[in-house]
Amino acid sequence: MRKILSVLITATALSACAGLHELSNDVSTYSLWPTDRKPTTYTFERLPSQEQNPQQMQLLEEAAHRAMESAGFKLAADPKAADISVNLGARVTAQEPSPFDNPFWWHGGLYSHRFYGRGFYRSGFGFHGAWPYDPPTYEREVAMLLRDRKTGQPLYEVRVTNDGYSSSINSLLTAMFEAGLKDFPNGGPNPRRVVTQIGSS
């Protein structure tokens, strides 16, 4: 019995470790990619506002590069000769819990009237006193836009989101961009769930 229990504990631990390296994403893609067009060369294109933060853009481009290669693209040695231009974006949005999410606020529940008043809830800090506090969650999002570099025509649009208790996104960027291009050049259905692996680096 002890041996069986040990095996079960080991299997559970391995399963938990595997889950920690997987990222579940909500992916939306919109495709105008011609059916007879093959992936060729690409270059990254930065908006003027993005040039104000070159280090962050470099991080985004390095993360997206792996996903582009997996989709069949090659980074052009000469940006002016590239077939496709790629715009990138990323953001993290805090989602504060609402006091009305607590079940005690509904149906005249425990203390619902006594504590419904000024000063009991302060945005950003949850319930005061001994009540349970749910920390804020964060929506993490990346976006990609692939365009014909010569004509400027948008050909493929990507939006990837996930959420969690951490606002950190840098270590997730590669997995998120890979999720966005996993079905390239196909579009929808939108949104759909795509699971990718988080790299160890």
Place of tokens 């939006």: 159
Phi-psi label, residue 24: left if phi above 0, alpha if psi -120 to 50, beta otherwise: beta
Specify which residues 138 forms β-bridges with. Answer: 94, 164
CA distance 86 to 164: 27
The alpha helices in 21-159, defined as continuous H runs, are: 54-70
> Does a cis peptide bond (omega within 30 degrees of 0) precede residue 185?
yes
CA gyration radius for the chain?
23
| pLDDT score, position 135 | 79
Compute CA distances 131 → 75, 99, 124, whole Å.
54, 11, 15
* The residue count for the chain: 201
CA distance 86 to 180: 13
| pLDDT score, position 101 | 54
CA distance 15 to 20: 9
CA distance 174 to 192: 18
Cβ(175)–Cβ(190) below 8 Å: no
Place of tokens 């997987």: 22
Q: What is the mean pLDDT of each run of 10 residues along the chain (201 residues)?
A: 38 41 96 97 96 95 97 97 98 77 48 38 41 78 98 98 94 97 96 89 43
| pLDDT score, position 178 | 98
| pLDDT score, position 127 | 41
For residue 148, give the 3-state DSSP assignment: strand
Q: Would you tell me how many other CB atoms lie within 10 Å of the CB of residue 200?
A: 6
Q: What is the pTM of this model?
A: 0.74
> Does a cis peptide bond (omega within 30 degrees of 0) precede residue 191?
yes
| pLDDT score, position 115 | 37
| pLDDT score, position 136 | 85
Cβ(86)–Cβ(39) below 8 Å: no
Place of tokens 């270059």: 43
